[in-house]
Amino acid sequence: MLNEEKVKVMTRLAIYEKRKGKEEVPVSQYYKSDYVKYNVLKTAVSVTIAYWMVVALVVAVRVEELLGQLNSLAYKEIAWRLMAGYLACLMVYLLIARFLYAYRYEKIRPHIIIYNHYLKKLKELHEKRTNDMPRNYREKGVINGNDEFVDY
């Protein structure tokens, strides 16, 4: 016998999981601070790799010019400028990432609250159905704990 309310709840959950749930449900596994810190860390790693790859590309393009000035280059000044550029770039991207991921988490949060509400409702309906079964069915093992019928 089908329970219409249970079917409606399961349909709502399935629609959410198929549309927004693929992206939003994994976010719900984190606290806001952990989610933001994790993504800011990923941003820091990405910016570091990208910045030094661009520096390597510029050096590769200008290698002939740099080899001609090898003895007259101010290495300390170049190193300080590269590090200052890296730190400035890193700070800008980390600041943007911090606000972006905090905003995304807050935007997703109401959807997750509704999703969790429907999950609790589904669990209550499931427990109610199991408790409404005759006791002898539960005791004899006709229905196991997962609400699955056992074929003897």
Evaluate if residue 34 carries a pLDDT over 90.
yes
Region 42-51: mean pLDDT is 97
What percent of the chain has pLDDT above 90? 38
pLDDT band at 128 (very low <50, low <70, confident <90, very high): confident
Instruction: Give the distance from CA 85 to its chain's centroid.
Output: 30
pTM: predicted TM-score of the whole model, two decimal places: 0.68
Beta bridge partners of 143: 149
Q: Is 141 helix (H, G, I), strand (E, B) or coil?
A: coil
9: CB partners within 8 A, 6+ apart: 118, 121, 122, 125
Q: Is the dihedral of CA 49, 54, 57, 63 positive or negative?
A: negative
Residue 38 — pLDDT band, cuts 50, 70, 90? very high
Q: pLDDT: is 114 or 40 the higher one?
A: 40
Q: Is 48 exposed, middle or buried (0-12, 13-18, 19+ CB in 10 A)?
A: middle
Q: Which residue has the higher pLDDT, 87 or 108?
A: 87
| Residue with tokens 């198929």, as numbered in its chain | 18
pLDDT over threshold 80, residue 150: no
pLDDT band at 133 (very low <50, low <70, confident <90, very high): low
More confident residue, 75 or 43: 43
**From residue 31, how far is each of 16, 23, 117, 136 by CA, in Å?**
21, 16, 18, 44
